[in-house]
Amino acid sequence: MSHIVTMIPGDGVGPEIIEVAKACIAETGVDVQWDVQPAGMSAQQSRGALLPRQVIDSIRENRVALKGPLETPIGSGYRSVNVQLRKDLNLYACVRPCRYYPGIQTRIADPEAIDLVIIRENMEDMYTGIEFMEECGAETPLIDFLKQQQQGADLECDTGFSIKPISRRGSERVARFAFEYARAYGRKRISAVDKANIMKYSDGVFMRAAEKISADYPDIEFEHKLVDNMCMQLVQKPEQYEVLVMPNLYGDILSDLCAGLIGGLGVAPGANMGDSYAVFEPVHGTAPKYAGADRANPTAILLSSVLMLHHINESAAAQRLEKAVAAVIKEGIHVTRDLKSPDAAGQPTGTQAMGGAVRDKIQSL
Ligand code: NAI
């Protein structure tokens, strides 16, 4: 069967890793026609927009996309193209499996016991872009309003604000997604993570929504954890967790923490899911210092491709690709610098050469 999939090469190391993914998927024998759609800085240059209409139209038509990372300037400049894409396509759940592949160097005593999945709410929270700049001008309407409404909110005019909206509907939706995911993948336990002791009116909504939805799934054990405690638990006993569901910001941060447990951002895959569309992409960003240098680890995009192949019902190809990636990592010869053990023989390989080793392995499996 032939599949048409939207491909967004992305910025920074994006085009290099996506080339590897494309070649490795072709090697599995699955017939994928790629509808290549630039977004981000490359689209700004070629089409005059960071997120051209054609990108959204293409994903709406094909329903599936494989995406490289997109740049978002820090502290100022345009708002995130990633956030806009998720919003336009209603991709409300971000799924980030965290699994260790033998051969990778980590600081964890028993990394093979780690097998958890983060489900991050993907559309609300601090990512809605409702922000107010600090401004000591003649009028400070928000500060005046808060002074009237909130006891003790005596804020200076040099204060900036980022608003954190969390809705019952959005929280119930992602919580239900997490429970359905747990059932579908035979997971027995869900931990809802938030900071509802302090943010009673935003994280409190999330916590109550998760508790409410848990009542519909008596076959799955449910627990609630505060995010600060969860950070410590994940570092000390990551093997105790199966599925973690949480608001957007905590999901963003804990995804990187979990990537750190299993060997770094170079090996952490992800998927943005909604009811109609799915966009698969690594957890990592554009890694600007490696852009064009053939240095980026292609594992994260390859494991994202594995998730994508399962999603389009090409599970045999997905398994072959995953086995090939795992075998190359285990051998530790044709791997990028971040995976190279100090005592392993030979020099680290580049992005494309590691992709070549995975292709060879697919053939020999
Ligand atoms: P980053 O993920 O690009 O890099 C963080 C660290 O991880 C760096 O040390 C980098 O060298 C390393 N790293 C990342 N990917 C790697 C790979 N494939 N192989 C080996 N090492 C890798 O995060 P950073 O520097 O915070 O962000 C850079 C840009 O990426 C920003 O503009 C940010 O907004 C964007 N970004 C985009 C994302 C997306 O499109 N989904 C996700 C995260 C960040």
| 257, 114: one domain | yes
Point out the ligand 1 atom lying closest to the alpha carbon of residue 289: 11
Q: Residue 73: CB partners within 8 Å, gap ≥ 6?
A: none
Q: What total of structural domains would you count in the chain?
A: 3
| 271, 258: one domain | no
Q: Is 181 a catalytic residue?
A: no
- Alpha helix ranges (H) inside the chain: 14-27, 41-47, 53-62, 81-88, 141-149, 168-184, 203-214, 227-236, 248-262, 299-311, 315-331, 351-364
The best mutation among 76, 94, 256, 265 to test binding of ligand 1, ranked by most ligand atoms within 8 Å of the C-beta, falls on 265
| In a domain? residue 20 | yes
Q: Is 252 a catalytic residue?
A: yes
The span from the CA of 223 to the CA of 244, in Å, is 10
CA-based radius of gyration for the chain:
21
Q: Residue 237: CB partners within 8 Å, gap ≥ 6?
A: none
Point out the ligand 1 atom lying closest to the alpha carbon of residue 300: 18
Q: Which of 232, 262, 292 is the last residue of a domain?
A: 262
Q: Which of 262, 292, 308 is the last residue of a domain?
A: 262
Q: Is 22 a catalytic residue?
A: no
Retrieve residue 145's tokens: 């309003």
Per-residue pLDDT tens listing for the chain (365 residues)? 899 999 999 999 999 999 999 999 999 999 999 999 999 998 998 889 999 999 999 999 999 999 999 998 777 777 889 999 999 999 999 999 999 999 999 999 899 999 999 999 999 999 999 999 998 887 888 888 888 887 677 889 999 999 999 999 999 999 999 999 999 999 999 999 999 999 999 999 999 999 999 999 999 999 999 999 999 999 999 999 999 999 999 999 999 999 999 999 999 999 999 999 999 999 999 999 999 999 999 999 999 999 999 999 999 999 999 999 999 999 999 999 999 877 777 789 999 999 999 999 999 98
Please give the distance, rounded to the nearest whole angstrom, from the Cα atom of residue 284 to the centre of ligand 1: 4
Nearest CA to ligand 1 atom 9: 287
Model pLDDT, residue 343: 75
* pLDDT tens, position by position, 84-134: 999 999 999 999 999 999 999 999 989 999 999 999 999 999 999 999 999
| 46, 69: one domain | yes
| 43, 156: one domain | no
Nearest CA to ligand 1 atom 37: 285
Q: Which of 262, 280, 302 is the last residue of a domain?
A: 262
DSSP 185-213: TT--EEEEEE-TTT-TTTHHHHHHHHHHH
Question: Residue 318 is part of which domain span?
Answer: 1-97+265-365
Catalytic-labelled residue, pool 57, 228, 275, 330 = 228
| In a domain? residue 126 | no
Nearest CA to ligand 1 atom 7: 265
Model pLDDT, residue 97: 97
* pLDDT tens, position by position, 324-357: 999 999 999 999 999 987 777 778 999 999 999 9
Q: Is 228 a catalytic residue?
A: yes
CATH number for the domain spanning 182: value is 3.40.50
Model pLDDT, residue 123: 96
Model pTM above 0.75? yes
Model pLDDT, residue 148: 86
| 210, 290: one domain | no
| 115, 226: one domain | yes
Report the pocket of ligand 1 as residue ranges, CB < 6 Å: 13, 69-72, 82, 265-266, 281, 284-290, 296-297, 300, 338
Contact 200, 166 (CB under 8 A): no
| 201, 173: one domain | yes
The best mutation among 286, 294, 302 to test binding of ligand 1, ranked by most ligand atoms within 8 Å of the C-beta, falls on 286
| 185, 257: one domain | yes
